[in-house]
Structure 1
């Protein structure tokens, strides 16, 4: 599998009247194969978080589920699991990379048969609620996808296939709906995925944002009869309600970093002062082991301090004036007794 051949597939199931009252059932399907680099996996999570920004997520409007897959399918959460956007965002951020195979066909089949079942929170077909699948994959599945994609399209699902980097276009076309020039797209890298979000929003919510000059710095969000501006992950909306500034999460969240908190887009990381290493918990800092770094000369025990070390003796011994060697308490006792005699 090629590391730079990701594809992003949007599969939308629309009735004749699209997106009435923003009622959607949306399931994300994320390729978590071993060919996906950790950095790219994080970029996909960021893209999902961006998409969530302009969705009206409530049980009566948009419901969201998430599946990731490798050699098998892992259902992270269903359409009925979360009722609030912030809970979904936390679950996306916690998602861990599987690093296994690429069974794309299996994932699509799982979504059609299970993720969109009423028992998993999908609304009945008679309610005409659009069903949406968004799949992120490398475009080189290890199982057949054409047959299940055809089955999905024949059931009324419209599939948009978007490639990132070097992709297998035949695979994209076997999944995407026709005409391909309207449903198969290509962007050069992950940084350009965000350029697709406006088009995605327009397809779902073609209202005020597409008909007025909104001047939103990042995203325009349709509301009944109006609109509001929203910012990308890691930014906050300024007082003018249109422009965006970088958000200082180190200042507004309880980060628990022992020494240094550093903001990153949409999150933060802990770092340590020079000479210290970050602990495995990602929060605390571990000082250098001075006892291991140099010939300390301690006869029995060496103890680290923040910036140096000192020698100490085991029980029953005392430290000599040289601060390195030890004598037994018995030897000190004999010396004291002799001095007492004189």
Structure 2
């Protein structure tokens, strides 16, 4: 591969991190070939050294042991408190590759990712077997797999992938839907008016909330029931995301 292509790969990762720097997302990165190597971990991202380490990373070359690299990420980053990971955070993995896997999933690592609800986004570049790459993605696999003809296409993916990553944090709408479902299952109509009296303090992302007893009113503003309000849901949850990028010799100018 040309050095320009490898630098484009790193620039893409840098741009995503910069655009999401004000979010609750923590980043880490691993380059993989025959072996895998941590470029920077979550601690590096938090202390501000991640970008410098990324831009100084050299090209490894060799085979494309994708499954081994996915397993390496799980063990050494996503499930490792030493890396700065929050074991309660939502976990996600972005794989960027232009080579088909040279290895097989002997350790059932994809099943372990699914069991831990770890999201997986795949970016395939150039002459790759999309069927094999799509298998690596989390559900819905088609929606979480991207294809570009060469590394120039990474820039066009930036906004789309950025939105997907940002949405992992959660939103007020998502929490609202969960609450509506909860009320419906409890016999409450989701079309209601309520008034709540505060009595319990609750901390959420550094903000203080008060939760209390709520009274439900019908359309005529008659009180029909009351219930104790659940804790204020945090509108954004922390996300730990790892970029796993191909440094194998399969990467070449096309």
Using structure 2 for the length normalisation, give the TM-score: 0.58
Instruction: Indicate conservation of the 8 Å contact 1:165/1:187, yes or no.
Output: yes
Q: Which blocks of at least 5 consecutive residues in structure 2 are unaligned?
A: 168-254
Q: Match of 1:133?
A: 93
Residue 7 of structure 2, aligned match among 42, 46, 52 = 42
SS of equivalent to 1:205? helix
Tell me the CA shift for residue 150 of structure 1: 3.0
Tell me the CA shift for residue 84 of structure 1: 4.5
Q: How far apart, in 1, do the equivalents of 2:2 and 2:132 lie? A: 21
Q: How far apart, in 2, do the equivalents of 1:70 and 1:181 lie? A: 25
Q: Which blocks of at least 5 consecutive residues in structure 1 are unaligned?
A: 1-35, 207-342
Runs of 4+ in 1 over 4 A off after TM superposition: none
Q: How far apart, in 2, do the equivalents of 1:179 and 1:83 lie? A: 31
Q: Match of 2:81?
A: 118
SS of equivalent to 2:142? helix
Q: Match of 1:106?
A: 68
Bigger fraction of residues in helix:
2
Instruction: Indicate conservation of the 8 Å contact 2:40/2:54, yes or no.
Output: no
The range that moved more, 154-163 or 95-104, is 154-163
Q: Match of 1:51?
A: 16
Aligned CA RMSD, in angstroms, stands at 2.2
Classify 1:121/1:92 alpha carbon distance in 2 versus 1 (closer, same or farther; 3 Å). same
Instruction: Indicate conservation of the 8 Å contact 1:145/1:175, yes or no.
Output: no
Q: How far apart, in 1, do the equivalents of 2:90 and 2:57 lie? A: 26
Q: 1:248-259 residue pairs with structure 2 within 5 A?
A: none
Q: 1:103-182 residue pairs with structure 2 within 5 A?
A: 103-116=65-78, 117-125=80-88, 129-145=89-105, 147-182=108-143
SS of equivalent to 1:76? strand
Instruction: Indicate conservation of the 8 Å contact 1:57/1:64, yes or no.
Output: no
Q: Match of 1:83?
A: 46
Using structure 1 for the length normalisation, give the TM-score: 0.44
Q: Match of 2:57?
A: 95
Q: How far apart, in 1, do the equivalents of 2:144 and 2:46 lie? A: 31
Q: Match of 2:165?
A: 204
Instruction: Indicate conservation of the 8 Å contact 2:17/2:27, yes or no.
Output: no
The range that moved more, 44-53 or 132-141, is 132-141
SS of equivalent to 2:58? coil
Q: Deviations over 1:16-51 (max 9, x none)?
A: xxxxxxxxxxxxxxxxxxxx4422211101111111
Q: How far apart, in 1, do the equivalents of 2:144 and 2:35 lie? A: 28
Q: Which has the larger radius of gyration?
A: 1
